[in-house]
Structure 1
């Protein structure tokens, strides 16, 4: 059977493209066996009523825990989509789950968040022979992902955590997370998972550092705004560096010409979301005065995507499925270059399911324009004596 069309064995994928929120939730829920399901992840289109969907799923699934968030797009069996309610049902036979709701995020007490998470981890009883990981879904407009994931990494260092920031298309107006039938703004949901499936974390982008270095000379870290670069108005200097007029700056320009920071010998994207009328640049991740950054140079998207998803377990097997968190600015650049169909084919062949984010979390770092995820493999065959 064609792998791109084969169903994964260890997660149930349910979809509805109905415009009405309640109808979409009912139709998607009908594709899931509540009796066999440990929990459900729901990735909701940014233009749907999240509260209605959360309530309808709670009713339709008979109390099965539902977590997730609003999205800037979904990664389904068809690859990239923008208007599909995507449900991923994780079976009881292979998963256990506990959840931690963290709110408010802004203002954030990192000590309280870390203590809260540690307490829940300690209460989560361990199943012999099973492995643990964490998933984090964060309100993408809270501007607290950097501090939160760093605090959790420090407090839960032996627990690998992967996640994405909730989006709403490219409106940057209202984002939320879902927790047990309720919508929460200015909040995050940390899921503690146990599974008997082997898994591997992934994280990659398609940018290398270029030759142009810049210095942030005036910034508001709390609001993630930069007013000056190299002592000049930020938007003006950035436009000069990328070779366009200030009035031509756009999400497409930002997506193709990101600024990178170096941390622990690795370069990470700090994406720009927009340029204000005051000449400031707004970022989707932490920014500060004195930060030295490098203008990124894009590599071939399809090749880097295929290489990043070409992973194997110890037995040389491909993943059964990959839970993926893919930055919306990657999707924007891909569509701008008319590569959407080709990328969707690659994602489908690799069994990637997830959503387009306002930022990704991995290895204790909040980053942008990255594909972060968890590849789950079939359990290793038992040896019978």
Structure 2
């Protein structure tokens, strides 16, 4: 069995920590084989000039299709990073790709999304014996991912779709997606992929419901804001439920004490991003009046990570690589608990590459504080990679 810490065989990965967008793009692009590559995914540090990154990569890679987004952190060959430009080059030998720019997201037109997605899927010629999947990268500040992924799940029912929302650290200021040499805000990129590599979807968190239930009694679904919980001011009631003062609420408190909803016998996190001066709570996924929720209780995060990434194919083989979308609030909790190096070791060993998100998409649901991804395995004839 191949050393788990070795480089993947069926994708090329390059990262640059150079200062400045242009320098980082030049350094990372040097390792990309233009002749053999079908497309590139680029995961960009938050706060960087997306237009400059997109244009520079387009020029350096000779127009090779580049897709991706701004991020709240990157998962590289060294695990968690914050200021690395990560490129993943997917080879022509194992991948085909068609892309759809969904613009604008807000106001979102579900019929437009459905029509575009269906049209491109129908035009994407099927290769006999190859497998299909979809990847979605959406502006994390659009607040439209819930409707977006549910629409795609409905119209592309036979296509498993995985993705993440673009971020920019914990600033919540500017997020964007990359599509063929340009950066777009208030937009999403849908990639339709075909591959001869077997794959498995993954999705897990580290929370269990406590059984302490409460109800959302006043909310603005469009803005994902909650004004009242159990008839009381939202921040005040949430602070009471978790056992702290309102002035002690912080991103770490929110990360360690998420709110859960139950859907199809599963519990999903509805993460809080902040509490404003009026006492309202802002959420990172869909919220509405009348929702019955419960507090989540965290489990041991490294153990749940190791278990979630312990994947095998039908021959007992580990993945060649995992494309991962990991919520920024997980990273925040991990770093606050000084577990960053230990978690990075787990990610490195499992060959996970990707980014920290403002939300994750899987099974038609937009969720928070999860690690969602796709595990790709070598084809049956190993010498094909």
Q: TM-score, normalised by structure 2?
A: 0.98
Equivalent position of 2:128 in the other structure:
128
Maintained 8 Å contact 1:139/1:186? yes
The separation in 2 between residues aligned to 1:101 and 1:143, in whole angstroms, is: 17
SS of the equivalent of 2:174 reads coil
Equivalent position of 1:252 in the other structure:
252
Equivalent position of 2:7 in the other structure:
7
Please list the CA deviations of residues 322-341 of structure 1 after superposition, one character each: whole Å capped at 9, or x if unmatched.
00000000000000111000
The separation in 2 between residues aligned to 1:286 and 1:165, in whole angstroms, is: 14
Equivalent position of 2:202 in the other structure:
202
Higher deviation after alignment, 43-52 or 357-366: 43-52
Equivalent position of 2:113 in the other structure:
113
Unaligned runs of 5+ in 2: none
The separation in 2 between residues aligned to 1:129 and 1:62, in whole angstroms, is: 31
The separation in 1 between residues aligned to 2:211 and 2:123, in whole angstroms, is: 50
The separation in 1 between residues aligned to 2:84 and 2:149, in whole angstroms, is: 28
Please list the CA deviations of residues 353-381 of structure 1 after superposition, one character each: whole Å capped at 9, or x if unmatched.
00000000000000000000000000013
The separation in 2 between residues aligned to 1:323 and 1:80, in whole angstroms, is: 14
Equivalent position of 1:214 in the other structure:
214
Equivalent position of 2:362 in the other structure:
362
SS of the equivalent of 1:223 reads coil
Give the deviation of 1:112 after TM superposition: 1.2
The separation in 2 between residues aligned to 1:314 and 1:193, in whole angstroms, is: 22
Equivalent position of 2:29 in the other structure:
29
The separation in 2 between residues aligned to 1:306 and 1:5, in whole angstroms, is: 15
The separation in 1 between residues aligned to 2:369 and 2:106, in whole angstroms, is: 24
Please list the CA deviations of residues 15-46 of structure 1 after superposition, one character each: whole Å capped at 9, or x if unmatched.
11111111110110001111110000000000
> What value does the CA root-mean-square deviation take over the aligned residues?
1.2
Please list the CA deviations of residues 252-300 of structure 1 after superposition, one character each: whole Å capped at 9, or x if unmatched.
0000000000000000000000000000000000000000001000000
Equivalent position of 1:345 in the other structure:
345
Maintained 8 Å contact 2:105/2:144? yes
Equivalent position of 1:233 in the other structure:
233
Please list the CA deviations of residues 87-123 of structure 1 after superposition, one character each: whole Å capped at 9, or x if unmatched.
0000000000000000100000111101110000000
The separation in 2 between residues aligned to 1:280 and 1:293, in whole angstroms, is: 17
Equivalent position of 2:298 in the other structure:
298
Maintained 8 Å contact 2:5/2:351? no
Please list the CA deviations of residues 156-197 of structure 1 after superposition, one character each: whole Å capped at 9, or x if unmatched.
000000000000000000000000000000000000000000
Equivalent position of 2:85 in the other structure:
85
Give the deviation of 1:49 after TM superposition: 1.4
Maintained 8 Å contact 2:214/2:293? yes
Give the deviation of 1:4 after TM superposition: 4.9
Equivalent position of 2:190 in the other structure:
190
Equivalent position of 1:19 in the other structure:
19
Q: TM-score, normalised by structure 1?
A: 0.98
The separation in 2 between residues aligned to 1:3 and 1:222, in whole angstroms, is: 48
What aligned pairs does 1:363-382 form with structure 2 within 5 A after superposition? Answer: 363-381=363-381
The separation in 1 between residues aligned to 2:3 and 2:65, in whole angstroms, is: 30
Give the deviation of 1:47 after TM superposition: 2.2
Count how many residue pairs are aligned between Structure 1 and Structure 2.
Answer: 383
Maintained 8 Å contact 1:134/1:192? yes
Equivalent position of 1:166 in the other structure:
166
